[in-house]
Amino acid sequence: MIRPDGPRGAGEGTFVSMIQPVANGLRTDHPVPGLPFINDERLLLDNPDAIERTGRNQGEGLWGRADRLPGGGWVAFTTETKNRVFAWAVHQHPEHGRTVLLIRDRDLSGLHHEWMYGHNGFLYRHGGYWWDGADWYRPQQIVDRAYEGYVARPVAGAVTVTALDFLARPATSHIARVEKIADFTAAEGPLPHWREHLALWASHRKPASRPLDQCVVDIQAPELDPGHFVDRAGLAQIAELTPKDLPHPKYGRRDLPPPQAESDEGPRWSRPVARDWAEQYHRVHGPEKLLSATTRFGTDQPQGLVDDHNRLTTIIIDSLQDAAADGKRNRLFTRSSTPNHEEQAAHLAWWPAVAINDGTDGFIPIAAVRTTIVEAVLGGFARDVADSDAPTPALLGDIRGDVVHLIDWYIQREPRHTPALFGEICLDARMRFDLDPKDVGDLLRRSLNLDSTIDSRTLNALLDLALPPSAQSREG
């Protein structure tokens, strides 16, 4: 589930590409390229509950888990008791067979969440490219709050590479072997001559095993040509940022897109993945940039806070000038200096303006304002739906001007939460009244253009960034 206050960096949650398997189980149907094969004969692969019991409640530091999948099949996990750094992960698909992976034990819960709730297939390659049994998609990065998930973007020209395809490649004289779990250590990089390891895996297949031409190994696509990958400088160029504005590669790696390759110089990304990341980055950071202004102190702050500060400054300037004109001594003045009313007023007004805009414990409960806005808009939808007798979708009337005024006030003080506000409205409208997010997005766009005080160019740029992808205007 997406955090209501929006994702960190470009996206939220643990990318599945961050969960790197370290080996294939020997009885997997879908080997991951470059990884060794481990003897998995101790696992009862037809019994998920037995896999769970291998580790669950068997001692400190051991764990196991098994769950049935909503569409059929199951997943099961267990810490490897003979080598507790690692855990086994098994995905049994009702149509496409089993995946058996050895992962690091610390990644057990993350992969469990991805397989159960990620809505991103069950096979992952090249840093999060995923296969749902029919098609390949790019790593999920674009948040769509109207559906509480990510947009699935298909890979152009994708070709599924099977074990049979892989084994058709020329052989080498390399001798492969099946690893044992007790003394296994994860390799630093992919195994050389991996085709020979795959051939050894194929030689262990039972007669009733899944045919090799149905065992998925990899994906090929024009965008996954390493010669077209971009480095950190290329990512910054695509995102229209300077390299220093990108998340730090050492401390902010999870805020960068999932890499498709690693080199001595750092991560490399396919151009479509970089473009998706750039789109989400600007959806997250764009509203705050659009609705910002410069304070009298030369710092950038939300437009609403700057407006409040300027208004308070003007009020205090007038008060100071009136007091000086009346001949009253102000304790802020010194006998040796002429009072600078504007500078004094700016400093006096700053913290009251901050207090008004502070959503934590300020004078105005910002979170309550947001809830009020959502319920006010949905209340209008409820009336429109109740007044509609036709079986077709209800005709939505414009949002009331006072509500638009309140939306204006909120987004100018909390611009970074604008996508979450619009996403919540679209999500609740879909769930409560079965309204198409596009219809809701069109209504928000129309009503704000009618009654918002924000200039139309800025407003439409904001809506392009902040409305969920599924709620973007049909007119583009």
Question: Which of the pair, 356 or 382, is modelled with greater confidence?
Answer: 382
CA–CA gap between residue 324 and residue 57 (Å, rounded):
78
Residue 390, pLDDT score = 56
pLDDT tier at 308, thresholds 50, 70, 90: confident
Q: What is the CA radius of gyration of the chain?
A: 29
pLDDT reading at 143 higher than 90: yes
Residue 474, pLDDT score = 56
By percentage, how much of the chain surpasses pLDDT 90?
A: 67
Q: What is the mean pLDDT of the chain?
A: 87
Question: Which of the pair, 274 or 473, is modelled with greater confidence?
Answer: 274
Question: Which of the pair, 6 or 468, is modelled with greater confidence?
Answer: 468
pLDDT tens by residue, 34-86 = 999 999 999 999 999 999 999 887 888 899 999 999 889 999 999 999 999 99
Mean local confidence (pLDDT), 282-304: 91
The strand pairing partners of 77, in sequence order, are: 65, 89
Mean local confidence (pLDDT), 179-189: 91
pTM of the model: 0.80
pLDDT reading at 391 higher than 70: no
Residue 228, pLDDT score = 95
pLDDT reading at 165 higher than 80: yes
pLDDT tens by residue, 22-47 = 999 999 999 999 999 999 999 999 99
CA–CA gap between residue 101 and residue 32 (Å, rounded):
9
Mean local confidence (pLDDT), 302-328: 77
Residue 5, pLDDT score = 35
CA–CA gap between residue 64 and residue 81 (Å, rounded):
11
Residue 171, pLDDT score = 85
**Residues ≥6 apart with Cβ < 8 Å to 177:** 200
Mean local confidence (pLDDT), 364-374: 90
pLDDT tens by residue, 257-291 = 999 998 888 899 999 999 999 999 999 999 999 99
Instruction: Pick the closest to residue 220 from 139, 155, 152, 132 (CA basis).
Output: 155
pLDDT reading at 10 higher than 50: no
Mean local confidence (pLDDT), 207-233: 96
pLDDT tier at 420, thresholds 50, 70, 90: very high
Mean local confidence (pLDDT), 430-446: 94
